Structure 1
Amino acid sequence: MKTDAFALRHIGPRESDLNHMFKTIGVENFDQLLYETFPDGIRLKNDLQLDPPMTEYEYLNHIQELGKKNKVFKSYIGLGYHPTIVPAVIQRNIFENPGWYTAYTPYQAEIAQGRLEAILNFQTTVMELTGMEIANASLLDEGTAAAEAMALLFDVRTRDQKKNNIRKFFVSEEILPQTLSVLQTRSTPIGVELVVGNHETFDFSSDFFGAILQYPGKYGQVNDYSAFIAKAHENEIKVAVAADILSLATLTPPGEMGASVVVGTTQRFGIPMGYGGPHAAYFATKEEYKRSMPGRIIGVSIDATGKRALRMALGTREQHIKREKATSNICTAQVLLAVMAGMYAVYHGPKGLKYIADKVHASAVTLADALNKLGVYQTNTAFFDTIAVKADAAKVKAIAEKHEVNFFYADADTITIALNETTSLADLNQIIAIFAEATGKEAFKVAELNTTNNYPASLQRTSAFLQHEVFNNHHSESQLMRYIKKLERKDLSLNHSMISLGSCTMKLNAAAEMLPLSMANWNSIHPFAPVEQAEGYLTMLKKLEQQLNVITGFAGTTLQPNSGAQGEYAGLMAIRAYHLSRGDHHRNVCLIPSSAHGTNPASAAMAGMTIIVTKTTPEGNIDVEDLRTKAIEHKDDLSCLMVTYPSTHGVYESSIIEITRIIHENGGLVYMDGANMNAQVGLTNPATIGADVCHLNLHKTFAIPHGGGGPGVGPICVNEKLVPFLPTNPIINVGGDQAITAISSAPYGSALVCLISYGYITMLGAEGLKNATQFAILNANYMKARLEAHYPVLYSGEMGRAAHEMILDCRAFKQNGIEVTDIAKRLMDYGFHAPTVSFPVAGTLMVEPTESEDLAELDRFCDAMISIRKEIEAASAEDANNVLKNAPHTLAMVTADTWTMPYTREQAAYPLAYIHDNKFWPSVRRIDDAYGDRNLVCSCAPIEAYM
């Protein structure tokens, strides 16, 4: 046994388990299993051409050496990214803690109360700092949040019939350059006309539905937007503001100026820069727009006993329900980073945040005064943390880089300097010395900070914020450590038991993959630092792109999209650009099977495409004849097909080659949704099945942790004809020679967590990756063999095999009065998170075990499901007082003085023997979803105030 082989640690079943598993399934070996699972003609003939695998020890040495090629300069570049101090108590107890980073999206709220409370703290922080009425659980980055603001204002304009045909959107020239690029990408296909200009000379009489302003501006200027917003409202123009969240601890919040939407990033609330991400963006708006708001909202509700309980609210806003009518394709958040940012606010409290903001401002004022004395004049009439000075940029740059300092050089004689939480007096004196050398003057030192404000009194914040006790009780490390642990104990994560979610792949996130994220030479690089300072990053990212090209069979990759849905959108925009480059402006029809993920039609709508839905056969496969008919019918304007492989139903459809050929014969391209790529790696690939582009979920197939609902990374891989159209960035030139504008804010999206996937591939190598796929298929078919005598399996391949996941049909249990939700809640009593509920078919459970789960864990889950099946058999539609309908059972319920249930406490809490060894207690009983939607509260206010 090669104990230093990473595959041994990543893959669950042992060699000695295989005969038992094969016998249970009814096959002799892997060859037979794969023959019976895969259709003819799509298996790869050769192994992947990847470097030999490294051991964990070799990899960690390699990544440390590679990290030394990154140069960590003092960064004063700004533009939405700042050095920050990550409190060690948050780094150790959240960022580096699998209890937090391996949790799934809180769809099962009863076993996610800790994470939900942490996100509620985040939402409260955002609402109170921005002065807005409602906030969501975070978005992907500031640029895409600004694009979502534009989309929301475009959507709500149609409520006013006079505005129905108005499509102009004003963008202040003060906007961050990367945000402008994302707005350009997102506006064009939906028919919004961007007009960039000076807000002071804006013509309010023109036909505009909305505007966006930057606060402070990209080069640091702080403007009072009150008059602009008031005049905009008089002309029925709604205004979004992109605001620096730290500045709002001391500046008047945009909500108090009348803004309709406020967006930004919370990166400087204790999140490392990480060469661009991941960071939690924020989105706040007015209560009246809650039904148009993108992303998720955490709301307050009650459980079955009337106890306060938290949940995800207003699910009807989500794209999987609105599909092609969706105004956003967002299906995720940056939960782990939002938790950290919210906890930063909890740790520092209102006084601490005000202290940090005032210190940053005082540093800027002190530096401006000092540089003025050198004759280097500061040009902003008011500023918070960023000053703009006039000097010879080339001369200053040469001297600054010699001293390992980065500024931003706006033009040949304008330099901006963005100060931050880490800036010390020594740093200020180093900057003064650099400019003294550049101007040939004698340097001097400042000994203390100038605390005079450099913004008008009218912009000084007077309103209180974060008065709730949670932000005022946890300021010592002991207090915060215990608070974090208290919340963690309420959440079920992968460090407790398997999470068998179909279509969401909750595999091991190995510690060796995660460790480099805490290394300063990886997490402290600004995304707009000169590329020669990021040699380690560029080497790693380019190598990861090459690895993904090999795995997918494609020619090019962009890592920029920072979620799977962003990857879908990027792939469709590349297809759109390809058709436009050939003069095929009319090709805008997108065929989508009815079984597709809800993000597919939402992404196609955002890309400006006309969606035609194709039928699914009773067996759950794409109806090839219906697809052929519709492809021929629309051959003159066919743009593409969106297809998931294996299918959303967990089957390798044998007609896939014919399907892709039909699309190509009729002038379209094929986009493959990579949600199920972990059932392809090393055995087949998107190029082989005939796709032209695919997105990959690095947070699924390639081991980036879900973090409670994010971070995610959704790169796209493309064939040679689409390489020229890969997206660029306005500051760091990336992408193809006919690149589309930016998909995300940073050049390489969430670059920091790409280290995880790079480590996963580098340590597994070709054979390990192939084995991971084989064992995922083995584990799924083993569970299918154990469970199909108790639960009908809805779809399977032509020889009766599942791919990497299966659908258990629970609809017949209604005759016993049992719904699929009851099974999901009862599984909590057995110590398990439910599989995917009612997707892609209502009334079913979609189960995916992953390759990381060992035989004992698979058996524990199967035993739990078989035990629940017996409980279903004993249930009656006439009597809802049973162990399933009352699930989950809390510790308080089971230990109460009185017990009136028609079953024992033992049956409620310990239905199987293994549970005694490792009992997980849900912290609340079943939550009342309807109550939460009727009484929406999404901040830390006590529920009594709303009852």
Structure 2
Amino acid sequence: MMHRYQPGAGDRQRILQFLGLKSPEELFAAIPQEVRVGELPLPLGMAEEEVRRVFREWAAANVTAEEKVSFLGAGVYRHVVPAVMDAVLSRAEFFTAYTPYQPEVSQGTLQAIFEFQTYVCLLTEMPVANASLYDGATAVVEAVLMAARLRPEKRKVFVSRLIHPDYLATLRTYAEAAELELLELPWDGAGRTDLSQIHPEEAVAVVVQSPNVLGVVEDLAAVKKASGEALSVQVVAEATSLGLLAPGGRFGFDVVCGDMQAFGLPPSFGGPHVGFFATRKEYLRQMPGRLVGQTVDADGQRAFVLTLSTREQHIRRAKATSNICTNHSLMALGVTVVLSLLGKKGVRELALASHAKAEYLKKRLASLAPKVQLAFPESPTYNEFLLLHGEPEKLLARLSEEGILGGVATSRLASYLPPGVLVAVTEKNTREECDRLVDALGRLA
């Protein structure tokens, strides 16, 4: 079969010579043998269409969340994606656009990012937002690094162990390099962060996720009070929750950040995502990444420009606020399209639908006790909750055999989390699917 990027005669040898290698095998020597594909089981001389047919058969063996009843979540959520989002994103002027360094030829991209910032401010009730980050993990890191720049005399960061384990792992990596001390807060019997161990007089920042990784909604007013003079940071992994739950901005938080994936971005094998970051106006010059501003041109017409872009490509590295060299503008555009279509009322209706279906499922599962046990039955949740189970991986395997992706085993996320299954419900789940899960758990749990 002719590959579309098949090198011509002599090309491979010239590449190897340039790299100082004798064979292609040397190029891949660093890849462990056990994870290599090796030779594909295809007979020689197959016609191109025959090879395609075999590849399609192999691809059909992959199971997606659309082919089974899915209750997967744990930081990546399935919501309805309007067809118009793909239509806009596939336009060449957006899909192939590079960084909008030249505003005179980048007005469309700049305006889209400006609108994204506006939506973030509206959802978080914060005055300023940046032009997106990679994902929720990098957004959390940037919040802590900003706090360290603002309060260089303090090095202790009190962070809830109930932020997403991937976010926490990323924060640990950056904190070590920045010589920040992470003090990880445990949780109480209600599945909320134990705030009693916070010492605000020693803290540069206090970081809490709500809803947290166990699905429980934190008491943000209490978190803000416990933070004292330290920078208070709310992390949001399921952004549609902002359509129903009061955000950190309403409680006086200094930063509200996280991931906007839930607004229109499909799971896509874990990425790409789009991080968001909103903060107070007085911290504007210490905010990481980019900011798109609105101004007027020489003719008095509205125009958009990059402003206060204090990142390492624009100024001296020693004075940069971030080493993240781009923003996920295409993903931010997708989020902006979805939010534009939903509007204020639609965002709330989406959140209410997800919450209502989750509450229906929780109520039905509670009737299966003690065979099925909710981890925190009295605690408020949004659209995700934890079912306790000693062998969650085995339970999920049995559910999968019945065509149900029952959730995510906490053992796959972090060893310190309670053993069980995180179940996420969105507007995409029907009542019939919820009933199927209840029936299956009643037999298999």
The question of a shared fold, defined as TM-score above 0.5 by the shorter chain, is answered with yes
Q: Is the 1:319–1:328 contact (alpha carbons within 8 Å) kept by the matching residues of 2?
A: no
The AA in structure 2 aligned to 1:188 is: E
The equivalent of 1:403 in structure 2 is 402
Q: 1:70 pairs with 53, 58, 62, which one?
A: 62
The equivalent of 2:202 in structure 1 is 207
RMSD value over aligned CA atoms? 3.0
Give how far 1:433 is off: 1.1
1:145-176 per-position Cα deviation (integer Å, ceiling 9, x unaligned): 11111111111113xxxxx1x21101112111
In the alignment, structure 1 residue 111 sits paired with structure 2 residue 109: no
Distance (whole Å) between structure 2 residues aligned to residue 287 and residue 259 of structure 1 = 12
Q: 1:258 pairs with 252, 259, 262, which one?
A: 252
Q: Is the 1:142–1:263 contact (alpha carbons within 8 Å) kept by the matching residues of 2?
A: yes
Q: Is the 1:140–1:280 contact (alpha carbons within 8 Å) kept by the matching residues of 2?
A: yes
Q: 2:437 pairs with 426, 431, 437, which one?
A: 431
The equivalent of 2:133 in structure 1 is 139
The equivalent of 1:354 in structure 2 is 348
The secondary structure found in structure 2 opposite 1:171 is strand
The secondary structure found in structure 1 opposite 2:273 is coil
The equivalent of 1:862 in structure 2 is none
| Aligned positions of 1:701-716 closer than 5 A | none
Q: 1:110 to 1:61 in 2, by over 3 A?
A: farther
The equivalent of 2:421 in structure 1 is 415
Q: 1:47 to 1:415 in 2, by over 3 A?
A: closer
Distance (whole Å) between structure 1 residues aligned to residue 19 and residue 199 of structure 2 = 61
Q: Is the 1:176–1:217 contact (alpha carbons within 8 Å) kept by the matching residues of 2?
A: yes
The equivalent of 2:36 in structure 1 is none
1:815-850 per-position Cα deviation (integer Å, ceiling 9, x unaligned): xxxxxxxxxxxxxxxxxxxxxxxxxxxxxxxxxxxx
The equivalent of 1:194 in structure 2 is 182
1:788-809 per-position Cα deviation (integer Å, ceiling 9, x unaligned): xxxxxxxxxxxxxxxxxxxxxx
Q: 1:316 to 1:60 in 2, by over 3 A?
A: farther
The secondary structure found in structure 2 opposite 1:6 is coil
The secondary structure found in structure 2 opposite 1:138 is coil
Q: 1:83 pairs with 78, 81, 90, which one?
A: 78
The AA in structure 2 aligned to 1:397 is: L
Give how far 1:217 is off: 0.8
Distance (whole Å) between structure 1 residues aligned to residue 312 and residue 291 of structure 2 = 10
Q: Is the 1:76–1:418 contact (alpha carbons within 8 Å) kept by the matching residues of 2?
A: yes
The equivalent of 1:237 in structure 2 is 230
Q: 1:390 pairs with 388, 391, 396, which one?
A: 388
The AA in structure 2 aligned to 1:242 is: V
The equivalent of 2:282 in structure 1 is 288
The AA in structure 2 aligned to 1:80 is: G
Distance (whole Å) between structure 1 residues aligned to residue 72 and residue 198 of structure 2 = 32
Q: 1:265 to 1:390 in 2, by over 3 A?
A: same
Q: 1:220 pairs with 209, 215, 220, which one?
A: 215
Distance (whole Å) between structure 2 residues aligned to residue 427 and residue 268 of structure 1 = 20
Q: Is the 2:264–2:334 contact (alpha carbons within 8 Å) kept by the matching residues of 1?
A: yes
Query: Percent of aligned positions with the same letter in both sequences?
Result: 32
The AA in structure 1 aligned to 2:406 is: N
Q: Is the 1:130–1:245 contact (alpha carbons within 8 Å) kept by the matching residues of 2?
A: no
The AA in structure 1 aligned to 2:435 is: N
1:536-573 per-position Cα deviation (integer Å, ceiling 9, x unaligned): xxxxxxxxxxxxxxxxxxxxxxxxxxxxxxxxxxxxxx
Give how far 1:325 is off: 3.7
Give how far 1:304 is off: 1.3
Distance (whole Å) between structure 2 residues aligned to residue 401 and residue 311 of structure 1 = 50
The secondary structure found in structure 1 opposite 2:410 is strand
The AA in structure 2 aligned to 1:185 is: T
| Aligned positions of 1:476-491 closer than 5 A | none
Give how far 1:315 is off: 2.9
Distance (whole Å) between structure 1 residues aligned to residue 428 and residue 313 of structure 2 = 40
In the alignment, structure 1 residue 101 sits paired with structure 2 residue 83: no
The secondary structure found in structure 1 opposite 2:120 is helix
The AA in structure 2 aligned to 1:216 is: P
The AA in structure 1 aligned to 2:428 is: T
In the alignment, structure 1 residue 329 sits paired with structure 2 residue 335: no
| Aligned positions of 1:296-335 closer than 5 A | 296-335=290-329
Q: 1:130 to 1:43 in 2, by over 3 A?
A: closer
The AA in structure 1 aligned to 2:361 is: L
Q: 2:169 pairs with 181, 184, 197, which one?
A: 181
Distance (whole Å) between structure 2 residues aligned to residue 60 and residue 305 of structure 1 = 56
The equivalent of 2:145 in structure 1 is 151
Distance (whole Å) between structure 1 residues aligned to residue 117 and residue 441 of structure 2 = 42
The secondary structure found in structure 2 opposite 1:124 is helix
Q: Is the 2:200–2:226 contact (alpha carbons within 8 Å) kept by the matching residues of 1?
A: no
How many residues align? The count is 401
Give how far 1:426 is off: 1.8
The AA in structure 2 aligned to 1:419 is: V
The AA in structure 1 aligned to 2:198 is: D
Give how far 1:326 is off: 2.9
Rg: which structure is higher? 1
Give how far 1:64 is off: 3.8
1:265-312 per-position Cα deviation (integer Å, ceiling 9, x unaligned): 111111111111011111111111121111111110111101000111
Q: Is the 2:127–2:280 contact (alpha carbons within 8 Å) kept by the matching residues of 1?
A: yes
Q: Is the 1:399–1:434 contact (alpha carbons within 8 Å) kept by the matching residues of 2?
A: no
The AA in structure 1 aligned to 2:422 is: T
Q: Is the 1:292–1:317 contact (alpha carbons within 8 Å) kept by the matching residues of 2?
A: no
Give how far 1:76 is off: 2.5
Q: 1:66 to 1:252 in 2, by over 3 A?
A: same
Q: 1:260 to 1:60 in 2, by over 3 A?
A: farther
Q: Is the 1:212–1:239 contact (alpha carbons within 8 Å) kept by the matching residues of 2?
A: yes
Give how far 1:117 is off: 1.7
The secondary structure found in structure 2 opposite 1:221 is coil
1:342-388 per-position Cα deviation (integer Å, ceiling 9, x unaligned): 10000111111111100000011101111111213431510000122
Give how far 1:428 is off: 0.7
Q: Is the 1:265–1:281 contact (alpha carbons within 8 Å) kept by the matching residues of 2?
A: yes
Give how far 1:206 is off: 5.0
Q: 1:374 pairs with 364, 368, 371, which one?
A: 368
Q: Is the 1:295–1:318 contact (alpha carbons within 8 Å) kept by the matching residues of 2?
A: no
Give how far 1:87 is off: 1.1
Alignment gaps of 5+ in structure 1: 12-29, 159-163, 440-947
Give how far 1:420 is off: 1.8
Give how far 1:48 is off: 4.5
Alignment gaps of 5+ in structure 2: 28-38, 187-193, 412-417
The secondary structure found in structure 1 opposite 2:151 is helix
1:634-659 per-position Cα deviation (integer Å, ceiling 9, x unaligned): xxxxxxxxxxxxxxxxxxxxxxxxxx
The AA in structure 2 aligned to 1:219 is: L
The secondary structure found in structure 1 opposite 2:283 is helix
Q: 1:61 to 1:201 in 2, by over 3 A?
A: farther
| Aligned positions of 1:782-793 closer than 5 A | none
The AA in structure 2 aligned to 1:181 is: A
Give how far 1:341 is off: 0.6
Q: Is the 1:264–1:283 contact (alpha carbons within 8 Å) kept by the matching residues of 2?
A: yes
Q: 1:223 to 1:111 in 2, by over 3 A?
A: same
1:687-733 per-position Cα deviation (integer Å, ceiling 9, x unaligned): xxxxxxxxxxxxxxxxxxxxxxxxxxxxxxxxxxxxxxxxxxxxxxx
Distance (whole Å) between structure 1 residues aligned to residue 359 and residue 298 of structure 2 = 55
Q: Is the 2:310–2:322 contact (alpha carbons within 8 Å) kept by the matching residues of 1?
A: no
The AA in structure 2 aligned to 1:190 is: A
Q: 1:62 to 1:293 in 2, by over 3 A?
A: farther
The AA in structure 2 aligned to 1:307 is: Q
Q: Is the 2:74–2:422 contact (alpha carbons within 8 Å) kept by the matching residues of 1?
A: no
Distance (whole Å) between structure 2 residues aligned to residue 256 and residue 5 of structure 1 = 56
